[in-house]
Chain A
Amino acid sequence: MPRRDDIKKVMIISSGPIVIGQACEFDYSGTQACKALRKLGYEIVLVNSNPATIMTDPGMADVTYIEPLTLEYMTEIIKKERPDALLPNLGGQSGLNLSSELANAGVLDKYGVKVIGVNIDAIKRGEDRQAFKDTMNHLGIEMPRSDIALSVEQAEEIANRLGLPVVVRPAYTMGGTGGGLVYNLEELRTVTARGLSVSLVGQVLIEESVLGWEELELEVVRDAKNQKITVCFIENVDAMGVHTGDSFCTAPMLTIDGDLQKRLQKYSYDIVEAIEVIGGTNIQFAHDPETGRVVVIEINPRTSRSSALASKATGFPIALVSSLLAGGLTLDEIPYWREGTLEKYTPWGEYVVVKFCRWAFEKFKDAEDKLGTQMRAVGEVMSIGKTYKEAFQKSIRSLENSRYGLGFAKDFNGKSLTDLLEMLREPTSERQFIMYEALRKGAEIDVLYRKTHIKPWFIKQMKELVALEEKLLQHKGKLPPDDLLVQAKKDGFSDKYIAQILNMPEKEIRDKRTSLGSVEAWEPVPVSGVENAAYYYSTYNAPDKVEVSKNSKILVLGGGPNRIGQGIEFDYCCVHAAFTLRDEGYESVMINCNPETVSTDYDTSNKLYFEPLTVEDVLAIYEKEKPEGAIVQFGGQTPLNIAAELEAAGVNILGTSPEAIDLAEDRGRFRKHMAKLNIPYPKSGMASTLDEALLIADEIGYPLIVRPSYVLGGRAMEVVHDEEMLREYVAAAVEISPERPIIIDEFLVNAIEAEADAIADGTDAFVPAVMEHIELAGVHSGDSACVIPPVSIPQKHIETIEEYTREIAIELNVRGLMNIQYAILDDKVYVLEANPRASRTVPLVSKVCNIPMARYAPQIMLGKKLSHLNLKRKPVPHFGVKEAVFPFNMFPEVDPLLGPEMRSTGEVLGMSDNSGLAFFKAQEATKQSLPTEGAILLTVSKRDRASAVEVAKRFDDLGFTIKATKGIHDYLAGQGIHTEQIHKIHEGRPNILDAIANGEINLVINTPSGKESAVDDSYIRKAAIKHKVPYITTTAAAIASAKGIAAYRRTRGEVRSLQEYHKDIR
């Protein structure tokens, strides 16, 4: 069937900010959708609140809206743009839900918008529990058995029928609160009783437990002719019980026989046919390895994290194909490299793909490292190898967590087998590493299988790796025998890991194995759905089969897995680097291992190597491709970490030198340069003992910001208010030694923080924008809201910041991008730190100011001068407010405070002609809409009382009821502001918690009393998250909120596209 002619303009709703469970895979799928549909000749209206994405670049869609993803804004956009069609299944669960909402509210009918791809009924059949169950019954496909109980007795009867263990799920509670897995009747009675009481309707669902069953996933694609193909069979190595988003997976399935695969395929085809999806669908099954029973767990009739993985694992771009199918094409009209057209597609490959997750438990002090039914991972890596062992080991060294192999992680090697086995009782993010040490200590495969439900085949593979490692260890301090070294390389052991365990220089290992002919070779993964495309992976298990062109090439090093502090922004920069290189006549060669990204899409660069970002892997590609240089400053910290080593090995690093990058990071050296330039810099010092620290602290004066010197991105950074806290920090938080000193900086209390991004060519610098942070200094810049252009910084300081930025860029000989953080205190501008590399704010600045920084910077690195680029700073007549989005709802045990350590996973942008409204919209976009009336809770620390007066006044003026705890109540009374007094938790009832639970509070403003207070007040913030009440933890943000609410009440503004905003910049 040919392309549909009845539609011209298609709207795509994407997924919003990066959160746990919904990450940049939707930037990848949305970007592919834009490309595919525009190629078919449709006009695209794209909506997303996430400014860090490639898809929201003004060139990706015809009309781009960066607006909050709510029914209200979507309706406005539809009213204005009048699209003919809506594509709902490319924007994750958010896009799907919002599309359903628009249909249910009658908006789509009213404006005559057709839904393409998957229709609204189909979404319901897939998403609604009962509708789905009915469909499955009709098809004769089993689901986990379950029944509803209204009493404990009934629950017992059902449990006896199903057999323990069972899962108790209270009806109508969020996130399964009050339920759980029970193993015996006593537990059943307790949990059921609790569940019945928390359920609004007094019902619990008693469900058969499929814990420990094999978890198997299929990605299938169906077209309008009902032709169906299976893109990929994915085996979750972690069994049922660990969320698929946290599971370690392989593709293809490795321990599942063809017969079962065929059965799953038949079920999947029956399901997509019944649900009538056009495009890709992910279907998850559980298979009981004892009896062979198969049950379907869930389906996702849309692109997903799994579909992104399946796409990258097979070279089948599911989002692209789904979009073409939604546009009316059928599979027999889309090309396939093997057999003409796609209806003939079958999974194929001569390689093994492994996906492994990246978690962030270390960022959340009180969070328990435990994996379960709720996803906790913040990112993932994918690796490709010729054998399972090779792929598995490559995935470990892709993780970017300073591990280059499976052994000797943390202190596991020092633990006894009994302890290790005990640690395996429940799944954790460290499970594979613990198993490795357990095997070293002689654990039986069967014992590990029973503890973990990980199939013995996988454990056996690991055991063989351990055995080989033990052989290597017999040669500690020298080179291992040739055949052993060659075998280790074949089994995926990295040079660095071999060097580490043998205590040898990495280079010696590399030179030796190279002399033995053990070198990386590459093989292609051909791409389906398009003509003549492929990407590449390395192996030590076959000769090289990849040709190299004679063109001039530049290498771009990507950012590796998403994690807190390094997300999609860096992928945005890498993608633009690749685009620019292509425009400038170079062949771009990308290296990255993150399957969720646009940078690992097959056509972003001329050549993509799906590889770990380690010296070993990058160097091998460099030597093969012989590019003119490598760009390391766009992929965040990942490539910078290896830049110096690469340069030493002969790699030509383009742009700012690793030496300059190092200089900026070395606070001592940086201070000297600032002194030379006469730029104010907070007092600071380095200490390698407690006594030194105390001495420096006395010199500088409290409060201080302290951090270990060997980590970046704000890890383990804290504000210290007095000597006792400093002693505590040194004693508890960090190991301190001459090799690992701590850095002690003066903390500028109540300073306004600002930052500037710049493009520099070594002799001059261009500063597109200065950003003002909403939160005061002390909150990590990644977690702070910020506004462009500044609203309260005087012009003279903005000019000073621009001037300093230029001076520092020239002083450090920066060629490319640079970001500098500033603080303004007592009419004086201080520089806090400089990062001569792409920053988190590059896409933000580029979009608000219409200056595509990541396009200009590569041109400079290739030798152009700023003067050639003819850049002009133009006044920006609107405001853009960036707000951070946090995963605290996923970590209920964690105190959701902001501090010097970054903890946000993503961000949104609110845009308006009015700064207050822009702030309000940013809050709406984070799904924490500010109330426009009602009551606020105001409890602030003693330190913040003075600034709380302005907060109270503003909310009082807006007509809000203010509830305050005794201290602040009395204080404000003294200032003539009336508040209602409310009890703290230890002061009797009803108290703050009751008021939050009863919905009597619409906004919580609570600044932490911190460690100087005897009473922990984190319960207030945790309660706000639990009951979904918006909360603010700084007075600065509270004032901005009051302004925002006032602005919103005056005028709601109207939706405007990014292209319209940009037109006004003259």
Chain B
Amino acid sequence: MSVRKQKALLVLADGTVFEGLNFGSEGETIGEVVFNTSMTGYQEILTDPSYKGQIVVMTYTQIGNYGINTEDIESGIPNIEGFIAKEFFDFPSNWRSKNDLGKYLKEHNKVCIDGIDTRALTRHLRDNGVQPGIISTEDLNPESLIEKVKKHPEISSIDLVSEVTTKEPYKWDMSLWKPEPAAAGDMKNKSEFRVIVYDFGVKMNILRHLAETGFDVTVVPAQTPPEEVMEKADGIVLSNGPGDPQTVQYAVKTAKKLLGEKPVMGICLGHQILGLALGGKTYKLKFGHHGGNHPVMDLSTGKVEITSQNHNYCVDVASLNGQVELTHKNLYDGTEEGMRHRDMPVISFQHHPEAGPGPNDSGYIFKRFRELIENGR
């Protein structure tokens, strides 16, 4: 926070104003303001396509200290609309760092703000719900900023998936990043199963985990007709992604066609799409789940895992009328975290088993998907 002088304002749709200092690019940005409680992992959060359309507040106070590296990314570019912290740092110290956070955000034209009381902001969002906000360095008049936010379309009305999905299909063969060259005993699993991943804003760590679990991975655009992939796949993954599942009806249709035909796994948005495809309902959480420390119980084993989460919507499992069995439950607020179809080879999860950032407790889920395919053979 050394030499920066440029003032910036953050204004929420309900009129709450925070004054701080500009970080990253100058300009103006609008998005839904959500908070994330991870202590580390800002780079993964920045690049997570699920954050498309959102401005993220980090509740931890010191952000940027370990810089930006080339490995811990979830997509090629930062997808967030804006970034907020108590204090950002553009002078990193870390052996893997290749760039600093300030420069990186500037390179990608991200308008960010720090020097504000993030605890108060977080509490405000908790009490009053997630809402749109605007960060500006150009217009420091709160009144006009409120007008701009109000005019901006609601996130639930936009199809954000089409903004982040890949344009072309591609193969993926990179496993998880390791600090040292793999030891001799550390052989990769043979890639005997082909998996097609529908990219609704997929995080690279999902792809890395799939490769690590021994899948031959192909990623396809969100609107790829199911008929095109059906023959080429032993299993289908419906990925995570940004926004409200109701805005991607084309994906829901695709899912309906895949159900029962191939083993399917849904993650986050993919899970919500499956919920809708099965005829169920989704609902919006007051302030969403965003962080790397959400406890979830695996109801089949009774074990608690600490999970990475990033969603504002949930599947109302009760609305599925007993078609599925609830397999995972959030211990914070009891919301649905995972389900398994009683008749069809379908599993899905609201939280992020791939972590990135966050704990790896749920990594076993990729193995479950593999077993699902193996058992189907």
Contact = CB atoms under 8 A, between A and B. Distances in A.
A257 B66 contact: yes
B57 to A, nearest CB: 11
A386 B94 CA distance: 22
Nearest to A449: B93
Contacts of B66: 255-257
Nearest to B42: A258
A139 interface: no
Contacts of B89: 457
Interface string A902-923: 0000000000000000000000
A348 B180 contact: no
A545 interface: yes
Contacts of A180: none
A289 B61 contact: no
B61 A352 contact: yes
A463 to B, nearest CB: 8
B332 A339 contact: yes
Interface stretch (B114-122, B243-251, B340-348): B114-122
A545 B177 CA distance: 42
B323 interface: no
B164 to A, nearest CB: 23
A352 B62 contact: yes
Contacts of B72: 257-259
A460 B91 contact: yes
B93 A523 contact: no
Nearest to A257: B66
A348 B86 contact: no
Contact of B86 (A252, A288, A290, A350): A350
B67 to A, nearest CB: 8
Interface in A286-306: 288-294
A289 B87 contact: no
A543 B117 contact: yes
B340 to A, nearest CB: 23
A561 to B, nearest CB: 25
A351 interface: yes
B60 to A, nearest CB: 6
A164 interface: no
Contacts of B61: 350-352, 386-387
Contacts of A289: 94-95
A349 B39 contact: yes
Given A259-B72, A346-B293, A387-B61, A542 B117 contact: yes
A456 interface: yes
A288 B69 CA distance: 17
Contacts of A288: 95
B40 interface: yes
A575 to B, nearest CB: 31
Given A257-B69, A457-B91, A541-B86, A293 B180 contact: yes
Given A292-B179, A350-B61, A255 B37 contact: no
A427 interface: no
A523 B120 CA distance: 11
Interface residues of A, number: 49
Contacts of A265: 359
Contacts of B292: 258, 346
Contacts of B324: none
Given A344-B304, A350-B61, A351-B61, A255 B93 contact: yes
A354 to B, nearest CB: 12
Question: Interface extent on B, as a size class?
Answer: 35 or more
Contact of B331 (A260, A344, A523, A542): A344
B53 interface: no
Interface string A244-262: 0000000011111111111
Contact of A348 (B37, B44, B69, B304): B37
B305 to A, nearest CB: 9
A256 B37 contact: no
Contact of A252 (B39, B41, B91, B357): B39
Interface string B252-270: 0000000000000000000
Contacts of A457: 65, 89, 91-93
A262 B292 CA distance: 12
A370 interface: no
Given A255-B65, A388-B62, A467 B119 contact: no
Contacts of B177: 259
Interface string A446-458: 0000000001111
Contact of B92 (A255, A258, A261, A467): A255
B59 interface: yes
A260 B65 CA distance: 14
Nearest to B117: A542
A39 to B, nearest CB: 25
B96 interface: yes
B94 A255 contact: yes
Interface string A338-357: 01100110111111100000
A752 to B, nearest CB: 59
B40 A257 contact: yes
Contacts of B37: 348
A464 interface: yes
Contacts of B157: none
Given A262-B359, A350-B59, A458-B93, A340 B180 contact: no
A290 B95 CA distance: 6
Query: Which of B1, B95, B360 gathers most chain A CB within 10 Å?
Result: B95
A332 to B, nearest CB: 8
Interface centre among B2, B40, B44, B359 (most CB of A within 10 A): B40
B280 interface: no
A466 B71 CA distance: 35
B295 interface: yes
Contacts of B43: 257
Contacts of A464: 1-2
Contacts of A291: 95
A728 B89 CA distance: 54
A257 B2 CA distance: 22
B207 interface: no
A129 interface: no
A348 B306 CA distance: 13
Instruction: In the A-B complex, list the 8 residue pairs whose CB atoms are closest, starting with the nearest.
Output: A258-B40, A457-B93, A344-B295, A346-B293, A455-B93, A289-B95, A292-B179, A255-B93
30 contacts: A255-B94, A257-B40, A257-B72, A257-B94, A258-B292, A259-B71, A259-B177, A259-B179, A262-B359, A262-B360, A289-B94, A289-B95, A291-B95, A292-B95, A292-B96, A292-B180, A293-B179, A293-B180, A339-B331, A344-B304, A348-B293, A351-B61, A352-B62, A386-B61, A388-B62, A455-B93, A456-B91, A457-B65, A541-B86, A542-B119
Interface of A: 227, 252-263, 265-266, 288-294, 332, 339-340, 343-344, 346-352, 386-388, 455-458, 460, 464, 467, 523, 541-543, 545
Given A339-B332, A350-B86, A464-B1, 16 more contacts: A256-B66, A257-B43, A258-B292, A258-B358, A259-B179, A292-B95, A332-B304, A339-B295, A346-B293, A348-B39, A352-B62, A456-B91, A458-B93, A460-B91, A542-B120, A543-B120
